[in-house]
Amino acid sequence: MQQDRVIAYALRQLKDYERNYPAHDLELTAAMFALKLWRHYLYGAQCEVFTDHLSLKYLFTEKELNLRQRRWLEFLTDYDFSIQYHLGKANVVADALSQKQSSAELSFMITRQDRLVEEFHRLEIEVVPTGATAELMTLVVQPILTEQIMLGQQSDPHLQKVLAEIKNGKDGDFSIHTDGSLRFKGRWCVPSDSELRKDILSEALRSLYTVYPGGTKMYRDLKQNIWWPGMKLDVAQHVAQC
C-alpha cells in the first residue's frame, strides 16, 4: 500500500508443514512472504507491516524464541520496517481475500508488477538510485551476480583451461556464450569461489516466491541457469544450515 492506496495483492496456500504453526508464526510467515515478494520495492526503503496479531508487534523484544523464529528474525533484519497492530475486525479487505474460494487445490497469487522490474530480477540486475533531490531519480543499472561470475571465470585456472580447449576446437558440454562467458550445457559456469557460491545460494534461498524452499526444489530451480561441480551437495548443506 502506498499513499493509502493498494498497489498489489498477493496470496498463497499454506504448505503442509506450515499448517502446524501457531497463529503468530503464521502471521510472521505471511509478513516474510510479502517482504520477499516485493523485495525490489522494499529493500532499502522504510515500510510498515500491519498485523491483527498484537504479539507480533513485540517480536523483536522477545527473549524466548525458537530456532525457526531466530532464523526468520535474521532474515527480517535486512529490512527497515515497523510492525503496526491493526484490529482484525476492521480489516475487511484481508478477510475478503482470505475467504475467497478457489476451484483448484493450487497455490496462486494476484500481483501487479512492472515487467521491467521482473526482467531486472531475471537478469540479477540491481537498480541503484543516484539522486535524492528529485522525485523521479536517475537509475543506474549494475549487473550483480553475472558480472561476478564472469570476473571469477577469468581467474579460475580450471575454467581458463576449458576455455582454451574450446578455442582449440574441442567439442563437449562446455561452450563459449556470445557474451564471452563459459557455459556448461547453456548454464552459467560458476568459478571455484566459495564466497561467490555462498552469495548465489543465499540469494536463491531468499527467493521472492517461496517462504522457505527445500533443498530439492532449490537445486531444481538453480540448475536451470547455474552450474558448478558438486552444486547439489552444496545446496543441501546450505539449506540444512539455515
What percent of the chain has pLDDT above 90? 16
Q: Are residues 236 and 174 in the same domain?
A: yes
Which H helix or E strand runs over 174?
A: strand 174-176
Residue 109 banded pLDDT, cuts 50, 70, 90: very low
Q: Are residues 72 and 31 in the same domain?
A: yes
Which H helix or E strand runs over 141?
A: strand 139-143
Q: Are residues 168 and 235 in the same domain?
A: yes
Each residue's pLDDT tens digit, 159-180? 999 999 999 998 899 999 988 8
Residue 47 banded pLDDT, cuts 50, 70, 90: confident
Domain count for the chain: 3
Q: Is residue 74 part of a domain?
A: yes
Q: Which residue has the higher pLDDT, 125 or 199?
A: 199
Each residue's pLDDT tens digit, 30-40? 888 888 888 88
Q: Is residue 8 part of a domain?
A: no
The pLDDT value recorded for residue 55 is 67
What percent of the chain has pLDDT above 70? 66
The angle subtended at Cα 104 by Cα 100 and Cα 109, nearest 5°, is: 55
Q: Are residues 130 and 210 in the same domain?
A: no
Instruction: Give the domain extent around 121.
Output: 115-143
Q: Are residues 108 and 29 in the same domain?
A: yes
> Best-predicted range by mean pLDDT among 85-89, 91-95, 125-129, 193-197?
193-197
Each residue's pLDDT tens digit, 117-141? 555 555 555 555 544 444 343 333 3
Which H helix or E strand runs over 13?
A: none
Residue 104 banded pLDDT, cuts 50, 70, 90: very low
Backbone angles phi, psi at 33, to 5 degrees: -60, -45
The pLDDT value recorded for residue 102 is 38
Q: Is residue 11 part of a domain?
A: no
Q: Is residue 86 part of a domain?
A: yes
User: Is the per-residue pLDDT at 200 higher than 90?
Assistant: no
> Can you read off the three cell numbers belonging to residue 105?
487445490
The pLDDT value recorded for residue 166 is 93
Q: Is residue 3 part of a domain?
A: no
Q: Are residues 152 and 233 in the same domain?
A: yes
Taking the C-alpha atoms of residue 200 and residue 225, their distance in angstroms, rounded to an integer, is 11
Q: Is residue 5 part of a domain?
A: no
The string of DSSP letters for the chain reads -BTTB-------PPPGGGGGS-HHHHHHHHHHHHHHHTHHHHTTSEEEEEES-GGGGGGGG-S---HHHHHHHHHHTTSEEEEEE--GGG-HHHHHHHT---SSSS--------HHHHHHHHTTEEEEE--SSSSS--EEEEE-HHHHHHHHHHT-HHHHHHHHHHHTT--SSEEE-TTS-EEETTEEE--S-HHHHHHHHHHHHT-TT-SS--HHHHHHHHTTTEE-TTHHHHHHHHHHH-
